[in-house]
């Protein structure tokens, strides 16, 4: 009996995932532990391995297709045995607003166990609609270098037939186009529809095709789509306002250098993040969230540290940061950041943040603002430490100055509270007596 392969669920907030590639072809033998396919979620790309043995007799979900978790994506079995009809999976429910825990492509292995419940649900669903086209119509569309999926079919069950393609070409004025053979070949290679290439005089040359190829829309990755969706939602639903302070980091930079010389290594991020943790315990409203009707108070500080990688942003989370010593915090945060950059974070290590820090200090940035992660009340944007002339005791001196900007949700936090919160962080960073017992 054919055994269904289902889309695993990666973390509590994951409702759908996209198959990136299959590592096996239909007809390939599969043993336990073999990698079957790679999946892109809103947080990472993971490799899924098999719990079962057999032959991959059906690939039901092609690469690039997004389906809800627990959907059937293929079948294992014996060559030649009947393959159950694969129904259209139910639409994934919209996830509730939560901390985005945005991550790039991180490859991990997850076992794809068959799910009886998924099979039971799937058998009552409606089969998916399919694009149908006759061989002659397909050949004409290919010869004309056009996208036949744009054509409404007049054949049985909406099938596109040759006369539909001819009518479409005539209606679009295809016969008036003058396309050089080399341009036509290039358009076919680039998978461009000739009718979508702008032309003023009806002539399409290689330059026109190259320009169209350069401007061809590229689908956003699942990760970038999630970033766009969640942060757009945050900007629209949470009224942002901003408070900026400058911290004089001169003494702390010198103190950190002395510690390093003595063999104790902390980064500036360690000091900044730990100052935030201490301040969040003093100002609990910044460690909470609101939906506009209620406030959700968080009893623990789970600190998110935004990390930029090639595919986007990743936010590893230091859980229970308020219960850690500074040394423990430094060790754990460094390990998480290294895993983030190596693409090895698990979903659990990217979930549950209550407050986020975005530090661009290493990028020579004087000032910037952040967008609040959904499910949080604020985000702190930390800029570079820059040597500047400042007035001290009636004289102009050079000091190491760092700007920090807090983005707050005005539904929950007012300006005076934000100012006090920021100045509390500033005071801690500028007071060495804060750090001596902690380091």
Q: Among residues 233, 240, 302, 410, which one is catalytic?
A: 410
| Whether 77 contacts 53, CB under 8 Å | no
- Residues in contact with 256: Cβ distance below 8 Å, sequence separation at least 6, in sequence order: 266, 268, 271
Query: Distance between CA atoms of 303 and 383, rounded to whole angstroms?
Result: 18
CA distances from 55 to 83, 110, 113, 114, 118 (A): 12, 19, 15, 15, 21
DSSP symbol at 249 = -
Query: Distance between CA atoms of 76 and 52, rounded to whole angstroms?
Result: 8
DSSP reduced 3-state for 46: strand
Instruction: Kindly tell me the burial class for residue 249, based on how many C-beta atoms sit within 10 Å of its own C-beta (0-12, 13-18, 19 or more).
Output: buried
| Whether 59 contacts 74, CB under 8 Å | yes
| Whether 66 contacts 89, CB under 8 Å | no
Query: Distance between CA atoms of 47 and 438, rounded to whole angstroms?
Result: 41
What does the block give as tokens for 113?
């166990």
Alpha helices in 134-249 (DSSP H): 135-144, 162-171, 181-189, 206-214, 222-237
Q: Which contacts qualify for 131-135: CB closer than 8 Å, 24 or more apart?
A: 131/160, 132/157, 132/158, 132/159, 132/160, 133/159, 133/160, 133/161, 134/159, 134/160, 134/161, 134/162
Name the residue among 38, 78, 37 with its Cα closest to residue 56. Answer: 78
Query: Can 302 be counted among the known catalytic residues?
Result: no
Query: Distance between CA atoms of 127 and 271, rounded to whole angstroms?
Result: 57
Neighbouring C-beta atoms of residue 82, cutoff 10 Å: 9
Please state the separation of Cα 144 from the chain's center in Å. 38
Active site residues: 410
């Amino acid at each position: 009996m054919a055994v269904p392969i289902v889309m695993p669920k990666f973390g509590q907030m994951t409702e759908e995932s996209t198959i990136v590639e299959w590592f096996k072809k239909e007809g390939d033998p599969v043993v336990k532990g073999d990698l079957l396919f790679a999946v892109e979620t809103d947080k990472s790309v993971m490799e899924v391995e098999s719990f079962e043995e057999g032959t991959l007799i059906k690939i039901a979900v092609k690469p690039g297709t997004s389906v809800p978790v627990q959907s059937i994506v293929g079948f294992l079995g014996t060559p030649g045995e009947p393959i159950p009809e694969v129904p259209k999976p139910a639409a994934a429910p919209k996830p509730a607003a939560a901390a985005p825990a945005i991550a790039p492509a991180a490859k991990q292995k997850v076992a794809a166990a068959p799910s009886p419940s998924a099979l039971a649900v799937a058998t009552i669903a409606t089969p998916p609609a399919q694009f149908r086209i006759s061989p002659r119509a397909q050949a004409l569309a290919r010869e004309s270098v056009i996208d036949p999926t744009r054509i409404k079919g007049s054949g049985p069950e909406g099938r596109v037939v040759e006369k539909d393609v001819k009518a479409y070409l005539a209606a679009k004025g295809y016969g008036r186009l003058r396309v050089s053979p080399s341009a036509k070949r290039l358009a076919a290679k680039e998978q461009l529809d000739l009718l979508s290439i702008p032309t003023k005089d009806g002539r399409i040359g290689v330059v026109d095709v190259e320009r169209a190829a350069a401007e061809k829309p590229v689908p956003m990755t699942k990760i970038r789509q999630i970033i766009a969706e969640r942060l757009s939602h945050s900007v629209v639903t949470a009224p942002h306002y901003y408070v900026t302070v400058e911290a004089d980091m001169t003494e702390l930079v010198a103190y950190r250098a002395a510690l390093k010389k003595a063999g104790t290594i902390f980064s500036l991020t360690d000091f900044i993040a730990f100052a935030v943790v201490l301040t969040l315990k003093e100002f609990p409203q910044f460690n909470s969230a609101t939906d506009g009707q209620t406030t959700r108070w968080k009893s623990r500080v789970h600190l998110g540290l935004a990390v930029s990688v090639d595919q986007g942003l990743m936010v590893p989370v230091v859980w229970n940061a308020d219960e850690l010593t500074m040394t423990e915090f430094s060790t754990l945060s460094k390990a998480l950041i290294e895993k983030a950059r190596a693409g090895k974070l698990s979903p659990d290590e990217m979930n549950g943040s209550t407050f986020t820090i975005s530090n661009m200090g290493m990028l020579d940035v004087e000032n910037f603002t952040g967008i609040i992660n959904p499910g949080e009340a604020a985000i702190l944007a930390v800029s570079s430490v820059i040597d500047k002339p400042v007035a001290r005791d009636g004289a102009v001196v050079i000091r190491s100055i760092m700007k920090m900007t807090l983005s707050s949700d005005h539904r929950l936090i007012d300006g005076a509270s934000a100012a006090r919160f920021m100045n509390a962080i500033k005071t801690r960073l500028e007071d060495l007596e804060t750090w001596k017992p902690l380091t």
